[in-house]
Amino acid sequence: MKKLFTIFLTLSGVSLLMFSSCKKNDALVVTKGGTAGTLSANTTTLVLDKSKLNDTTSVIKFTFTKPTYEYNAAVTNTLQIDVPGDNWGSKMASTGLSTRVYSQGFSTNDFNNLLLKLGLSGGVASQVNVRVQHSLGGGSTPVYSNTLTLIVTPFFLTSWVYVPGAYQGWNPATADSLVSATGNGVYTGIINFTAGNNQFLITPVKSWANKYATNSSAGPGATTASYPVTYNGSNNFTAPTTAGLYQVTLDLNANTLTIAPVAKYYSIIGDAAIDWGTDVDMKYINDNTGRWSVTTTLKSTGGFKIRENHAWSTSFGYLATPDGKTLTASNGGNMSVSTTGSYTVNFIPSVDDKTGTYTIVQH
């Protein structure tokens, strides 16, 4: 009898342990989703003022209620802004919000930058949609607040970076530039890399205080190149091995640099410059106007034209009745000056390459 009682106690203990183990497994926390917070803003119509660019005062403030889950959860909140029709797709801009903080204000500069990333036009009132994404991470499905509709007017903020390199003697003070017409973090420009002088860096100001470079050791191709960009990286960028004019694009959103041949370039040609067989190349001015320019000696005894890609298939000259500002690619007349001397010729071609505007300024 004592032996049977001992066996009974042993089996009972094993059963209790098994039951206890099962209870622990059943206690694993599994969420069935949460209830999103409610989003509001202190204004739904906002015209941003460029004169307040350096003012840190909030011009718009978003507030949302705390999302609720079945247990006390550490939630990641993200403010998302998009244009109608994109359906929270590739154009969407977003910014992370602090944990357990349920309101966020934006200064003029910060909110304008977010809006420009959507591709909005400066000075134009546009509709945007705003919501908050709540996420627990770990593969869980996010939940979203209500969507607010705002009418906002951003402004363009043109900015430049600079391209010192071997092509100009490694001097930041005199380096050519890349321009971001909208201040959206994408800078572009045309640089003339001469033979054997294709290494360069990019600086945010005209000094060596800081630089955009790369940690990649990959070399360029004959006519194209691309690099990952690292702030104060260790290696120079290297342009393609074939000398010439290249479109250089720095994307600080994706941290990439790409270099590709220029599709169209312009020069002046004629006996007023040198002769009708020798082009005098114009330089692209990286100021977002599309302007090509050259300063050279012009003679009063001859004429000249502006042509594209060193070819006569597209060349620009005077209208039948010159108006002092417009050139035509349809068998235009020779251009001329009345006095021999040093001149700057500026030219902006139209998008369709049929006309262009020009100025000729004597020094």
Instruction: Give the whole-angstrom CA distance, residue 335 versus residue 124.
Output: 40
Domain spanning 159-261, CATH architecture: Sandwich (2.60)
Instruction: Give the whole-angstrom CA distance, residue 199 versus residue 166.
Output: 6
pLDDT of residue 54: 86
What DSSP designation does 140 have?
P
pLDDT of residue 137: 67
What DSSP designation does 109 have?
H
Which helix or strand (DSSP H or E) is residue 13 part of? Answer: helix 2-26
Instruction: Give the whole-angstrom CA distance, residue 32 versus residue 38.
Output: 20
**Binning pLDDT at 50, 70 and 90, where does residue 119 land?**
confident
Instruction: Give the whole-angstrom CA distance, residue 314 versus residue 308.
Output: 6
Q: Is 26 or 116 the better-scoring residue by pLDDT?
A: 116
Mean pLDDT of 275-282: 96
**Binning pLDDT at 50, 70 and 90, where does residue 140 land?**
confident
- Let me know the angle formed at the C-alpha of 265 by 198 and 282, rounded to the nearest 5 degrees: 85
pLDDT (tens digit, 9 = 90+) per residue, 229-257?
Answer: 999 999 999 999 999 999 999 999 899 99
**Binning pLDDT at 50, 70 and 90, where does residue 159 land?**
confident
Q: At CB < 8 A and 24+ separation, what contacts does 28-33 make?
A: 29/71, 31/69, 31/70, 31/71, 31/73, 31/136, 31/140, 32/70, 33/69, 33/141, 33/143
At residue 13, does pLDDT exceed 60? Answer: no
Beta carbons of 168 and 193 less than 8 angstroms apart: no
pLDDT of residue 262: 95
Mean of per-residue pLDDT scores for the chain: 88
Q: Is 332 or 117 the better-scoring residue by pLDDT?
A: 332
Burial, 329: exposed, middle or buried (Cβ in 10 Å; 0-12, 13-18, 19+)? buried
At residue 325, does pLDDT exceed 90? Answer: yes
Fold of 39-153: Immunoglobulin-like (2.60.40)
> Cα dihedral sign for 360, 351, 90, 106?
positive
**Binning pLDDT at 50, 70 and 90, where does residue 177 land?**
very high
At residue 28, does pLDDT exceed 50? Answer: no
280: left (phi over 0), alpha (psi -120 to 50) or beta: beta
| Domains 39-153 and 159-261 fall in the same CATH topology | yes
Mean pLDDT of 281-287: 92
pLDDT of residue 20: 44
- Which position has the token pair 């990019």? 202
Instruction: Give the whole-angstrom CA distance, residue 295 versus residue 281.
Output: 10
Tokens of 262: 């220029």
Percent of the chain with pLDDT over 70: 89
Q: Would you kindly state where each structural domain of the chain is located, as residue ranges?
A: 39-153, 159-261, 266-362
Q: Is 179 or 74 the better-scoring residue by pLDDT?
A: 179
Mean pLDDT of 276-291: 93
Lowest average pLDDT, out of 2-11, 153-162, 193-202, 341-350, goes to 2-11
pLDDT of residue 35: 86
φ, ψ (nearest 5 deg) of residue 116: -65, -30
At residue 11, does pLDDT exceed 50? Answer: no
C-alpha distances in angstroms, 273 versus 109, 197, 255, 359?
Answer: 48, 28, 43, 16
Class of domain 266-362: mainly beta
Beta carbons of 230 and 255 less than 8 angstroms apart: yes
Q: Is 281 or 2 the better-scoring residue by pLDDT?
A: 281
pLDDT of residue 306: 98
- The type of residue at 141 is T
pLDDT (tens digit, 9 = 90+) per residue, 52-90?
Answer: 988 999 999 999 998 887 666 678 889 999 999 999 998
Q: What is the DSSP string of 310-324?
A: T-TTSEEEE-SS--S
